[in-house]
Amino acid sequence: MEIRWTGLLAALAAVAAAGNAAAQPSAAAREGTKLTISLTATVRTTGRFVDGRNATTTSAVNRVLKGKCRLEAGAVGAYGLEGPSRQQEKAMKRKDPGMANLEKEHARCKGNQDCLMALAQKMAEQDFQPKAPQAEGAVQVWYPQSCSGSLSADDLFTADIKDGPGLSYQSRSTVTGSALIPEGGEKGWLAVYIEHDLAGNSTLYRFNEAEPVPLEKHTVRTGYQAGTTRNKVPVGLTQRVDTKPWGPVKGPPQSGAVTRNIEGGTLTLEWQIQR
């Protein structure tokens, strides 16, 4: 007789998973529940750069990204999008003591059928059920299904360049206007993920900037190569990658606002949730 450990463990794990699903915290939303989140991200920055006596440049950036997303609640798990913590990883690797003892007895049988049959009988009499390793925690992630929005800018850039006779110039550039971000699912802009920590009664908001959109740049230059130019340039909210979540914010998913310092100014995120 061959003892099929893998099949036994898989079956027991399925039973355990069903029991855990039934015992989900009451504060969790039903898997598949929908909500809508409207958000406004505002950037305000200023800067001035002086390179000796030859160059002085300034910037004043004012940009607003607005979005609206449909989110769907996932199943409750032990951890969120960043995966298990170190403590949880250790817990999941920890072997059930009873299972470890049975594995030793199985090894001592060295394939002897009488020994294996006796071990199987012992398991049946003891109604042995190995415990699947688990990590403590209860987190529900809300996943964006589709988002749309718009980006607007009202930026000013100046330059005073002194490169010697005939080469010096001054310029003043503005980037203005707005552009729509069309609605899109997996291949579009997925603006925000929500992670509700049921055990800790707090929520993280993971905000993703949209891809840059084309806006009009108007430049007036005097001195060397004087003239006026107009062209389209790609413009994003900050045009930098920031994977840090916003929060944790106390309580379940709800409307709110948070401000974060960035280079030269601030980035403010405001959101409203409708269920």
pTM, two decimals, is 0.73
Distance of CA 159 to the CA centre of its chain: 38
**Tens-digit pLDDT profile for the chain (275 aa)?**
333 333 322 322 332 333 343 344 447 999 999 999 999 999 999 999 999 889 999 999 999 999 999 999 999 998 888 877 677 666 555 666 666 677 777 787 877 887 877 777 777 766 666 555 555 779 999 999 999 999 999 999 999 999 888 899 999 999 999 999 999 888 899 999 999 999 889 999 999 999 999 999 999 999 999 999 999 999 999 977 777 899 899 999 999 999 999 999 999 999 999 98
Nearest alpha carbon to residue 154 among 230, 207, 211, 218: 218
Amino acid identity, residue 66? Answer: K
The rounded distance, in Å, linking the Cα atoms of 36 and 76 is 19
The rounded distance, in Å, linking the Cα atoms of 249 and 189 is 24
Using the Cα atoms of residue 209, residue 210, residue 214 and residue 216 in order, give the sign of their dihedral: negative
> The tokens of 83 are what?
């995966």
Helices then strands, each counted (H, E), the chain: 4, 11
The rounded distance, in Å, linking the Cα atoms of 130 and 153 is 60
